[in-house]
Amino acid sequence: MNTGNFQVKEINSKWGKQTVLLLVLVIIHSSLSALDVNQKDSQGSFLGENILLLEKQSPDLSIQDIITRDDFVASDVPVPNFFVSDYAQWAKVELSNSGEAQEYLIELSQPTLAEVSFFFVKDGVVLDQLDAGLSVNASEWYKESVNFIFPFTLDQNEEASIYIRTRSGDQVAMPLKIFERVSYQEALFDQTLFFGIYAGIFLVMMLYNIFVYFSTRDRSYLLYVFYIVVVGLTQANYLGYLFPLIYPSVPDLAVFGTYFFGAFSGVFAVVFMRYFLRTNKRTPMLDRGFKIFVSIYFIATFLAVFEYHNLSYQIIQLNAMLLAVFMIVVATRLALQGYRDAKFFLISWSSFLLGVCVFVAKDYGLLEYSWFTYNGMVLGSAIEVILLSFALADRINQLKKEKDQEQAARLIAIEENERMVREQNIVLEAKVENRTKELEQSNNELNTTLSNLKEAQSQLVDAEKMASLGQMTAGIAHELNNPINFVSSNVMPLRRDLDDVFEVLSAYEKLKPEDQNLKRAFEEIEELKEDIELTFIKDEISSLLNGIEEGANRTATIVKGLRVFSRLDEDALKRADVNECLDSTLIVVKSAIDGDVVVDRNFDESLPRINCYPGKLNQVFMNIITNAAQATKKNGKEEKKVEISSSHDDNFVYIRISDNGVGMDEKTKAKIFDPFFTTKEVGEGTGLGLSIVLGIMNDHKGKIEVNSTLGEGTEFLLTLSRSL
């Protein structure tokens, strides 16, 4: 038969039956005997062997359902361990008081439990109840300890029962103790002192490594600080200090924090180890394994978000143990290869591994629940952060040693270079003398060639200017043609409509006061107004006049832009508005830009006026914008776009012209400012446009930068000084 946690097999022998009978008597005696709270040996010790258990019960059972149950089974261990389960676990403690009446406390030191309820029952009646746990607002149960405590009072010779219900998504144990109020303060002081020492170690290590990071700028120290913070928060959450002290009114966050901190402490451990030991370079095959462990942590966290708490907790615990072993394997392999930092890491990580293994083994029942097994991971992490700080300190010495060796090798190389230079100087002096004579002869020939080239270049520059002038003339003619058509096409309809209106006016003028049949005359005029649709004519005249006005305004705009752009021959330095230069250039080159090319204009309206050569700047803008528009026509994309923007700071004005055209490779980009270099077909360009642009920018003591990606587009950034 199955009795709670005990499996009793049928025994045919006489001695076997006596053993079973004795065991049953022991269970019955345990279930009936009451714990005397006044006995000093019962205070401050685990009550596991003095409590009755009712395991794996439906979460929906009420205290009234449990009180009537008679199938409680006595516990045979100091701390009952229910492992990871979705069920509710119940415990019953029978209490009596042989001494004077006073206040007692029963403590459950498992602060990560999601649901905990205490019930004080006497004669089958619930006299007091306390609901606690991570799923309950901490202000409703937190008193003076992060552990769950339930105060009660027993009069002399009074008997009562305390029922404890627990349920959680992680490992569930019942480390129960009873204290007098005074003695509990001493235990609470020891508990707080332990956490204070632990937190102090982490705070000192964090501040120390932050200081070292700012001194060395080594990223491993910064990553270690993040790791210390996450591990410290994880252990503080495990010991129960975060929820009631930091966010007591957010129980959902408290429940999720158990899984979140456990997972992300492992993730940060992986990040720090990979950077500290440089596993991606030293052992790339094993380094890929870390990605698997990190992925498992994220999967477990994802499961916790959707409240698969039991499964998430088991995955995190198992993954933590396997990861710790894997990190030991990686560190051992690197240590055997002679890496000094791996040896330090191996020693420090082994302490944390031992703590993790002890903690997980306690969760799975392989080790007995005790103060040491409960705090094994906490102690291991404290030792680890201290030893890893030593490892990082040794890293400074190691880097210094490597730097000294590098400087010594560099000094030897410099001395060797000096010797070689001295020997080569003797040979070079003789060669230089001979070469000088050859260069003098070549120089004379080059001067003659240069003179010829300057003459040819002057002719080509004039040709380029004429081409620009022709482009400007064609653009203006095209742009003026449209608004003039607005006016000319509206004149005839306007004349026709006015004739109709004049006809109505003439009819009114023919009317005379002495006419006898005025009514008939007015009716005829009304018929005339209907025949010519006078109301429509009024609207049409207004529309035609608007069209004529629009054409006139556009003509005025074009003329203004032409007036600004026409300063091509101005050589005097003067203050000008760069935005105005850009606008006038856009008007001139508008005809060169197809209707499917979108020009995105984003100008800084607060742009200051600068000293410049306005006419020459117009030529720079025209060449670059025209090239950008032509590049978009070849990209084969549905959207053809040219973006033009201006901005400034205290010293410079910036003009950015970009397109989403065909772009350039590095080889082409290196040649675009060379004279006569062009990517256009023969006869379509002289190859001097961007060469002239570079010359004009040099005249302005400005800078031109080009960023281009083949197949994506090109960007020109022009920088002009405000103090030319």
Give the integer Cα–Cα distance in Å for 703 and 122.
Answer: 91
**Mean pLDDT over each residue of the chain, to the nearest integer:** 78
State phi, psi for 120 to the nearest 5 degrees: -95, 115
How far from the centroid of its chain's Cα atoms is residue 220's Cα?
20
Q: Which superfamily is assigned to 570-721 in CATH? A: Histidine kinase-like ATPase, C-terminal domain (3.30.565.10)
| Distances from the Cα of 633 to the Cα of 111, 147, 637, 673, angstroms | 69, 73, 8, 22
- The answer to whether the CB of 463 falls within 8 A of the CB of 457 is no
pLDDT of residue 488: 62
Lookup: tokens for 278: 């440089």
| Distances from the Cα of 190 to the Cα of 145, 197, 374, 477, 713, angstroms | 12, 11, 15, 94, 69
Domain boundaries, the chain: 2-181, 189-352+380-404, 451-565, 570-721
Give the integer Cα–Cα distance in Å for 155 and 167.
Answer: 31
Exposure on the CB side of residue 130, measured as CA atoms within 13 A: 21
* DSSP code for 607: P
213, 301, 288, 219: which is closest to 257 by C-alpha?
301
Amino acid at 558: I
Residue that the structure tokens 């942590």 belong to = 297
pLDDT of residue 452: 66
70, 113, 112: which is closest to 92 by C-alpha?
70
User: Packing angle between helix 376-510 and helix 689-699, nearest 10 degrees?
Assistant: 100
- The answer to whether the CB of 362 falls within 8 A of the CB of 369 is yes
* DSSP code for 167: E
Lookup: tokens for 511: 């009317």
Q: Which residues pair with 716 in a beta bridge?
A: 657, 706
Q: If 0-12 CB within 10 Å is exposed, 13-18 middle and 19+ buried, where does residue 669 land? A: middle
Q: What angle do CA 34, 37, 43 make, to 5 degrees?
A: 120
Amino acid at 555: T
Is residue 613 helix, strand or coil? Answer: coil
pLDDT of residue 718: 94
372, 346, 350: which is closest to 361 by C-alpha?
372
Give the integer Cα–Cα distance in Å for 273 and 344.
Answer: 12
Residues 44-71 as b/e (b if ≥16 CB within 10 A, e otherwise) read eebbbebbbbbbebeeeeeeeebeeeee
Lookup: tokens for 347: 């020693």
pLDDT of residue 489: 61
Residue that the structure tokens 């676990």 belong to = 89
Which stretch of DSSP H or E encloses residue 526?
A: helix 518-532
- The answer to whether the CB of 554 falls within 8 A of the CB of 483 is yes
Which stretch of DSSP H or E encloses residue 437?
A: helix 376-510
- The answer to whether the CB of 570 falls within 8 A of the CB of 611 is no
Which stretch of DSSP H or E encloses residue 91?
A: strand 88-96
58, 308, 44, 350: which is closest to 187 by C-alpha?
44
pTM recorded for the entire structure: 0.48
Give the integer Cα–Cα distance in Å for 257 and 238.
Answer: 9
- The answer to whether the CB of 565 falls within 8 A of the CB of 457 is no
Residue that the structure tokens 């062009």 belong to = 678
Lookup: tokens for 531: 């025949």
pLDDT of residue 217: 80
**pLDDT (tens digit per residue) in 296-354:** 999 999 998 888 888 888 888 788 878 888 888 888 888 888 888 788 888 877 777 77
329, 257, 263, 326: which is closest to 294 by C-alpha?
263
Fold of 2-181: Immunoglobulin-like (2.60.40)
126, 120, 125, 112: which is closest to 151 by C-alpha?
120
Give the integer Cα–Cα distance in Å for 299 and 320.
Answer: 13
Residues 6 or more apart whose Cβ sits within 8 Å of residue 462: none
Q: Which residues pair with 96 in a beta bridge?
A: 36, 159
Give the integer Cα–Cα distance in Å for 162 and 149.
Answer: 12
Q: Which residues pair with 107 in a beta bridge?
A: 149, 177
pLDDT of residue 295: 92
Give the integer Cα–Cα distance in Å for 216 and 395.
Answer: 11
Direct distance between the N- and C-terminal alpha carbons of the chain, in angstroms, rounded to an integer: 101
User: pLDDT under 70 in the chain at which residues?
Assistant: 1-33, 37-44, 360, 362-365, 369, 395-396, 398-399, 402, 452-491, 494-497, 500, 502, 504, 508-518, 529, 534, 538-540, 542-571, 591-592, 594-595, 680-687
- The answer to whether the CB of 673 falls within 8 A of the CB of 687 is no
Give the integer Cα–Cα distance in Å for 310 and 167.
Answer: 11
Residue that the structure tokens 């006049």 belong to = 545
**pLDDT (tens digit per residue) in 448-468:** 777 766 665 555 555 555 555
Give the integer Cα–Cα distance in Å for 88 and 65.
Answer: 13
State phi, psi for 179 to the nearest 5 degrees: -135, 150
